[in-house]
Structure 1
Amino acid sequence: MPTPVNDQVIKNLLDARLHNRKVETSQFSSIEMQQAYEIQQRLIAGYLKQNQAKHSGWKVALSGAPAQHKYAIDEPVYGRLTTDMQLNTGDTIYCSQDELPKFEIELAFRLKQDLLAQQIYTDQSLIQAIDEVIPALEIANVRWQDWNFSLGQFIADNSAASKYVLGKPLSMTLDEVMANIEIEQSSHALVLTFSEQDNALKNYLWLVRKLLSQGMTLSVGEIILTGSLIRPLNMDRASYEVQLFGQTLSIEIANAVS
Structure 2
Amino acid sequence: MTNQQAQTMKLAEVVDSAASSAQAIPQLSHDYPQLNVAQAYQIQTASLEHRLARGEKLVGIKMGFTSRAKMVQMGVDDLIWGRLTDKMQLVEGGTTSMSRFIHPRIEPEIAFRLKKNIKGYINLSQAMEAVDGIAPAMEIIDSRYTNFNFSLPDVIADNSSSSGFVLGQWHSPNVDISNQAMIMEFNGRAVQIGSSSAILGNPYRSLVEAARLAAESGLCLEAGHTVLAGAATAAHPLAAGDHVCLHTGTLGKVEITLEADND
Tell me the residue number matched to 2:146. 145
Alignment of 1:85-100 (within 5 A): 85-96=88-99, 99-100=102-103
Contact 1:61–1:77 under 8 Å retained in 2: yes
2:237 to 230, 234, 238: 234
Corresponding letter in the other structure for 2:213:
K
Correspondence 1:252 to 2:254 = no
Share of identical aligned residues, percent? 24
Tell me the residue number matched to 1:101. 104
For the residue of structure 1 that corresponds to 2:47, the secondary structure is helix
Q: Distance in 1 between matches of 2:231 and 2:94?
A: 20
- Please report the RMSD computed on the Cα atoms of aligned residues, expressed in angstroms: 2.5
Unaligned runs of 5+ in 1: none
Q: 1:97 to 1:10 in 2, by over 3 A?
A: closer
Alignment of 1:1-258 (within 5 A): 4-5=4-5, 6=7, 7-25=9-27, 26-28=30-32, 30-50=34-54, 52-96=55-99, 99-116=102-119, 121-171=122-172, 173-174=174-175, 176-179=176-179, 181-185=180-184, 187-188=186-187, 189-194=189-194, 196-197=198-199, 198-237=201-240, 238-244=242-248, 245=250, 247-254=252-259
The worse-fitting range, judged by mean Cα deviation, of 12-21 and 39-48 is: 12-21
TM-score by length of 1: 0.87
Contact 1:187–1:239 under 8 Å retained in 2: yes
For the residue of structure 2 that corresponds to 1:23, the secondary structure is coil
Deviation, 1:67, is: 2.2
Deviation, 1:217, is: 1.5
Unaligned runs of 5+ in 2: none
Corresponding letter in the other structure for 2:150:
F
Corresponding letter in the other structure for 1:191:
V
Contact 1:96–1:255 under 8 Å retained in 2: no
Q: How many residue pairs end up in the alignment?
A: 252
TM-score by length of 2: 0.86
Q: 1:240 to 1:123 in 2, by over 3 A?
A: closer
